Amino acid sequence: VPASSPIKSLADIKGRKLAVAGGPIDKSWLLLQAQAKKDGVDLKSESTIVYGAPPLLAAMIADGEMDATINYWNFCAALEAKGFRRLVGMEDILPKLGAKDRIAMVGYVFDENWGRANRERLARFLTTTNKAKEILATSDADWETITPLTGASDPATLHAYRNRYREGIPHRPIADEQADARVLYRVLAEIGGRDLVGPAPELEPGTFYQPPPGE
């Protein structure tokens, strides 16, 4: 929300214009609705909801056309660098919905048969991505090096990208991630229905990749 916005809680969004990136079944939007309902607020019916592409919605709230926005993390970080205020983050919502800690919200998807046939290649890929995340988590200098790749228009935006990205790097064992994912999947299935999860009310076994022992 804008820094000077009178909106201080989810309840304050009632009757206002809320811009939502990702569409009606975006997971962050659904989880936010679930939490708001716990607080007695039905955001979907009690607010004016506008769906659209992330950059468009970021521009609309920057121009004062929207009262609040739910957007992808990098667009939110860029808005924060411009002085916008974060009302609530997923890290605030997830524990209230039953998760024990932060959970990875984005991942890689690959065919199970391919994974079995290419275990060494997959292990190298995972090792490389983990090393890259470690560098990004610890080296400010490397963030300066990749500035052109981030699209950051100024140092404040780059620093916002860096800080928010670091917060989102997964650090927990896969088993803990999977346990929380099962809990949140049930929440998503309840509020998103078949449009989101189809006929699967529970997280499918095998969704999380478990490297063989020693890898």
pLDDT tens-digit series, residues 28-51? 999 999 999 988 999 999 999 999
> Has residue 215 got a pLDDT over 80?
no
As a whole number, mean pLDDT of residues 120-140 equals: 96
Q: What is the pTM of this model?
A: 0.87
Q: How far is CA 140 from CA 79, 81, 86, 147, 151, in A?
A: 21, 17, 24, 11, 16
pLDDT band, residue 126 (cuts 50/70/90): very high
For residues 136 and 45, what is the distance between their CA atoms, to the nearest angstrom?
A: 41
Average pLDDT over residues 156-160: 97
Structure tokens at 145: 């090096």
Question: What tens digit of pLDDT does each residue of 57-89 get?
Answer: 999 999 999 999 999 999 999 999 999 999 999
Cβ distance 158 to 143 under 8 Å? yes
Is residue 211 very low, low, confident or very high in pLDDT (cuts 50, 70, 90)?
confident
> What distance, in Å, lies between the first and last C-alpha atoms of the chain?
44
Mean pLDDT of all residues in the chain? 93
Summarize the confidence of residues 84-108 as an average pLDDT. Answer: 92
Kindly indicate the confidence band of residue 1, based on its pLDDT and cuts at 50, 70 and 90.
very high
Helix, coil or strand: residue 139: coil
- 184 has a pLDDT exceeding 80: yes
